[in-house]
Amino acid sequence: MERRSSLPPPPPLGPVELYDWLLALIGAAIIVVCMLLLLKYLSRRAPSRHEGTARSSELEPLLKELIKEIRLLREDIDKLRREIEE
């Protein structure tokens, strides 16, 4: 058995209600467009994750050279300590 609502169907929208709906849709569209433009602007101003960073292949030779320099400095420090102790 089909159940029917005892409420009457809603009346059709009048010109004032249609105008209100139209204004609401236009306002929502303007807000969405402004938000998209803001996101686009912010994404262009924000630095990229890879911008300004070196690749590991570029850093590897520099790190090896730095490690060599640190070892040489340690050896020099050890030599100076021995000279001071003598």
26 vs 12: which has the higher pLDDT: 26
Can you give the pTM of this predicted structure? 0.43
Q: Which pLDDT tens digit goes with each residue over 25-37? A: 999 999 999 999 9
Task: Evaluate if residue 12 carries a pLDDT over 90.
Answer: no
3-state secondary structure the chain: CCCCCCCCCCCCCCHHHHHHHHHHHHHHHHHHHHHHHHHHHHHHHCCCCCCCCCCHHHHHHHHHHHHHHHHHHHHHHHHHHHHHHC
Task: Evaluate if residue 1 carries a pLDDT over 60.
Answer: no
Q: Which pLDDT tens digit goes with each residue over 40-81? A: 888 887 766 665 666 667 778 888 999 999 999 999 999 999
